[in-house]
Each structure stands twice: as C-alpha cells, then as structure tokens.
Amino acid sequence: MIDHPFASFGDARAYVLAADGAFEDATLPGWQLKGGARVADGNEPHFVGNAGDRRSLHLPVGASAISPSMCVDLHYPSFRLFARALGLSPGKLKVEVVYPDVRNADWSTVAQIGSRSDWFLSGDMPLTPDLGGSAAGPRRVALRFTATGLSGSWKVDDVCIDPRRLH
C-alpha cells in the first residue's frame, strides 16, 4: 500500500503499487517487454513511491510492456500513473487492460494519452473489473502500455491501483 501518493495533487485515496510499477528493478520480473522497452534512468519528479527512486519504464515508438497479472476485485475501479513524452513529435501512449482468465479475453483500451514533454499525473483510468466477471471475488488483470505514432518515445512511472480502501 502506498499511503496517499497523490495527496499533493488533490487525490486523497490510498493506492496499491502495481507489480514492479515503480520500475526500480532493472530486470522487471514478470513483465513482458517488446520492441526495445526497458527500465531507464529518470524518475517522476515527485517521488511518490520512494524518495530514493531513480528509474522509470522507457518505451521507444512501437514498444510495449505488459505487466504481470495482478489480483483485483470489483472494488478496484481505477488506476493512475505518471507519464512523459520524449522527442519532438511523439505519438500517444496507449493504455490497455485485459482479464486473462476470461474466455476469449481481448485487450480493452482505457486511455490514449497525448504528448506532454513534462512529467504529468494521469487522470483516473478504469480497470473495469466487471470485464473479469460480475461475481464477487478476485480476478486477474494485466496492463499493457504501448508507445504509438511515427516517432518519439515515452516514459512511465509509479503505476498505482486504487483499491477503494482507506479513503
């Protein structure tokens, strides 16, 4: 649990850090990295995860990163993250969710983030846990981040999930 990481942004909710969602471990165990995606130097400037954090996820154009599956339930409605566009004419950061245990599960796009050259905190992005089934109880979800467009790249940091506890 990260204790109210976005309080200085007017968001008083408590969050859970997604699996290796601070991107401090260069090996990113469980993550699937494609197209040159990697951990790189440079942390979001607010250090919401830890004051000693120094890294983030780097996504060159066309690259993608898929998180390990995480358990959520119907009480995990959304997530937020920091992002930053790099380059003169970057494309967009495509953010998707999937519930891998659902028959014929497909990726659901929850955001297409436009370019900003400074680090910024995303708005709430829906996890839509009902896509994993309407019954109460846990379900596995994974997140995919893809740098789209013809040029430029992206950095992503501190992916945090709102468990709707401790408001």
Instruction: Read off the pLDDT of each residue in 13-35 and give the average, rounded to a whole number.
Output: 94
Q: Is residue 25 part of a domain?
A: yes
CATH code assigned at 87 = 2.60.120.200
Kindly provide the b/e burial profile for residues 81-116, where b requires at least 16 CB atoms within 10 angstroms of the residue's own CB: bbbbbbbeebbbbbbbbbbeeeeeeeeeebbebebe
Tokens of 84: 């930053």
Task: Determine the 3-state secondary structure of 132 from DSSP.
Answer: helix
Q: Please list, in sequence order, all residues whose beta carbon lies within 8 angstroms of the beta carbon of residue 133, skipping any fewer than 6 positions away.
A: 99, 102, 139
Q: Is residue 68 part of a domain?
A: yes
Boundaries of domain holding 26: 18-162
Confidence class of residue 75 from pLDDT cuts 50, 70 and 90?
confident
Q: Is residue 44 part of a domain?
A: yes
Instruction: Read off the pLDDT of each residue in 57-86 and give the average, rounded to a whole number.
Output: 94
Q: Is residue 4 part of a domain?
A: no
Q: Is residue 2 part of a domain?
A: no
Chain position carrying tokens 């930053």: 84
Q: Is residue 130 part of a domain?
A: yes
Tens digits of residue pLDDT in 101-152? 998 888 999 999 987 889 999 999 999 898 888 888 899 999 999 999 888 8
Confidence class of residue 2 from pLDDT cuts 50, 70 and 90?
low
What one-character-per-residue DSSP string does 6-63 give? TGGGT----BEE-TTTT--STT-TT-EEETT-EEEE---TT-SS-TT--EEEEEETT-
Tens digits of residue pLDDT in 26-67? 999 999 999 999 999 999 999 988 889 999 999 999 999 999
Tell me what pLDDT residue 42 has: 95
- Share above pLDDT 90 across residues of the chain, in percent, rounded to a whole number: 67
Residue 165 clears pLDDT 60, i.e. is over it: no
Average pLDDT of every residue of the chain: 90
Residue 92 clears pLDDT 70, i.e. is over it: yes
Confidence class of residue 98 from pLDDT cuts 50, 70 and 90?
very high
pTM for the predicted model, two decimal places: 0.93
Q: Is residue 1 part of a domain?
A: no
Tell me what pLDDT residue 167 has: 37
The helix or strand, by DSSP H or E, that contains position 94, with its residue range, turns out to be strand 93-98
| Higher pLDDT pick, 106 / 167 | 106
Tell me what pLDDT residue 166 has: 38
> Which residue in 46, 126, 130, 34 sits closest to 78, CA to CA?
126
* Tally of structural domains, the chain: 1
